[in-house]
Chain A
Amino acid sequence: MTETTELAEFRQDIRDWLAENCPPDLRDGNLEDDNVCWGGRDWVFQSDSQRDWLHRCAERGYTVPTWPRAYGGAGMDRAREKIFREEMDRINARLPLQSFGIWMLGPAVLAFGTEDQKQDLLPPIARGEVRWCQGYSEPGAGSDLASVQTRGEDRGDHWVVNGQKIWTSYANKADRIFALVRTDSDAPKHKGISFLLIDMDQPGVTTRPIQLISGKSPFCETFFDDAIVPKAQIIGEVNRGWDVAKHLLTHERESISGGLTGMGGVPSLGRYLKEELGEISDPVLRADVMRAEVDAMAIRLTLERYADQAEDGQGAGDASAMLKYVATEFNKRRQELLMTAGGAAALDWDGDTGGRPGDWLRSKANSIEGGTSEIMLGIISRRILGLPG
């Protein structure tokens, strides 16, 4: 399809701006968590160009291109956002900023926050000034997330929060946490949860990192011992936090699937293996790679199709469970094939820096985090196929 003149001009503008403003040393396509700016009060820029890149993008709303301009975004529709991303990819630009504020809290505030909250919370996320983490799972509340037991006790103008969260990514580096907290123990489990915004920098909050089979991880346990939360620090109504959480979980599923398969970003597995290791001579591996190639292409088209529908105002909704399921199960398959292709050379443990075995082991969590594959299939069977619960 040919672009309209308007979009073609937009593309040219973006291309020109990027050419002038994206620091050359950040055009290396490096999207590893450790090499992208996460922002926050304690963030130490890894280079001057990382700082400049963030500031230049934030000034134009490019850290959160689809958010409204009033809240620090660039107000792009999906067609423009797609062009923006394509132009970023074209020069292999690193993202200027990534964070749970951008992926998770921002969308929740846009959907459920008051006008004051939007103005207070969103611009600092867009500028990378406040780093958020997510407090959902607990040791006793995994797949059964609505059974969270972290408790918020009403003390008039504030809550006192006690309990424990787990799988809180980067909790040890975050300024604040958005958390599901039980504020009514007598109500049915979905009706007594509030979505609270808690400062990490207070005596009642401590964190401890979790070591994974893949090595070091961003995951932490987070402990609340009489943590103080002012009453204004809540998104949505008291005891209606599950509505916000559900909305965010849908969002999370879509971003996990999108992030894994990439909107056209993942190179062909077959071509990659041929370039890295030469002709795939093992006919069994070759057949597996061919099947994976077929599925990867179809999954990528599916993610694009749902993204296009979202542009037309039609969110994936319950179908996000399908996107999450197929993308994460596929990534595990892909990682297994990479390990098989690598053979003995792929067996070296290279400390905590990941590498191929690290990616392979880390992929095992893909179909668990953000809702297990089995939970996804349950959502599909009940809400889409209408099978009895």
Chain B
Amino acid sequence: MLSDAARAFLDDKAPVAQLRALRDAGRSHDAGLWAEMAGMGWAGILIAEDQGGVGMGHAAAGVLAHEMGKTLVASPFLSTAVIAATALGQVADARARSALGQIAAGDLTYAIALQEGRKFAADSAGVTATPDGNGFRLTGAKGFVVDGGAADRLLVLAQSDQGPTLFDLPCDRDGLSITGRAQIDARDAADLRFDAVPVSGDEVLGDAGQGLAILAPALRAGQAALAAEQLGLATGAMEMTVGYLKDRQQFGRPIGSFQALQHRAARLWCEIEVTSSAILNAGRALDETPDMAEVAVSLAKARATATATLAVQEGVQMHGGIGVTDDYDMGFYMKRARVSAEWLGDYGYHAQVIARAGGF
């Protein structure tokens, strides 16, 4: 099974201690780990075999993300292998195909420059793309660009005369300044400034004005995979907590023998079970009926956000004092849960997608 193989690899190469070591070393990215993942085909999980990938689909991508979430694995998997690969796959012209091959080989990473304000919006296009010769110049700012510090290239949504347009450009372009963020989850994220950044017409992904249509399926794929990661995070936090309830002795017995804590743990397990149904459903919907997957994906992201938040809060509470120490790993789960709650749309964003689709 894919999940067993992934688990064995990650337990060996990327336990939570690995994230801690990165943080303590002031790093947010481990290129060697990503190269090994790519070697196992993970970077090409959504890329067709004839383009160098393994083409296993969104449910499989969810399985990998779920396992990564359990030990908070820091990698450009979501940005590169899921979101960028899906966006490039929408276009699949010669340049996009070449990029897909490089992604699958682990030779190219991407970050998505979309968000502009405090909150996610799928159509943030406040960066302007002004015509300049055969190309454009980009001006404005993007924030919360996940994996933006170490990525090779960017997908940037900007407003051109033709409407929202997606640009695919390298991170070392003149006029582009990238400032790494010291984000609570110790993962790679950056703020971007575009000062009349020159881009050629060839660097438009797809056609000008078609940015939202290309980006939408990519964001859905990313949201579903991120939800799977959040479910993994919740599961990891719960397993750590249940283990602690069995070990920790107070009043002369394991604290897990107290009904107050048993019921908290059981309730959390129920929430995780219910959320896992939504995750499986989203992966299936993306693979089988991608045009109708919007509600399934938003359901997964909303539920997973709520469940991950609950899992880390309950996790800290049931651990007691040790749960709020930095020596213990639970804090890493709490911080990543908060970041993943915001990224690609929070609970309220996705609940509103569901309400709109439901006609109320």
Q: Which A residues fall within an 8 A CB radius of B?
A: 1, 268, 270-271, 273-274, 279-280, 289-291, 293-295, 297-299, 301-302, 304-305, 319, 322, 325-326, 374, 376-378, 380-382, 384-389
Contacts and interface: CB of A to CB of B under 8 A. Distances in A.
B79 interface: no
6 contacts: A295-B303, A297-B299, A302-B277, A305-B280, A384-B269, A387-B256
Interface of B: 242, 245-246, 253-254, 256-257, 259, 261-263, 265-267, 269-270, 273-275, 277-278, 280-281, 288, 295, 299, 302-303, 306, 350-352, 354-355, 358-360
A294 B303 contact: yes
Contacts of A297: 278, 295, 299, 354
Identify whether the interface residues of B are mostly helix, strand, loop, or mixed: helix
Contacts, number: 107
B43 to A, nearest CB: 29
A30 B254 CA distance: 52
Given A280-B360, A294-B354, A381-B265, A388 B299 contact: no
A385 B246 CA distance: 10
A85 to B, nearest CB: 19
Identify whether the interface residues of A are mostly helix, strand, loop, or mixed: helix
B277 A301 contact: yes
B259 A301 contact: no
Contacts of B299: 294, 297-298
A369 to B, nearest CB: 19
A239 to B, nearest CB: 30
Nearest to B263: A377
Given A294-B302, A294-B351, A380 B359 contact: no
A315 B144 CA distance: 45
| 9 A-B pairs closest in CB distance | A270-B360, A381-B262, A380-B266, A301-B277, A377-B266, A387-B256, A302-B277, A274-B360, A388-B257
Contacts of B288: 1
Contacts of B266: 376-378, 380-381, 384-385
A268 B358 CA distance: 7
Contacts of A384: 266, 269
Contact of B351 (A291, A376, A388): A291
B351 A298 contact: no
A289 B263 contact: no
Contact of A298 (B257, B265, B267, B275): B275
A387 B262 contact: yes
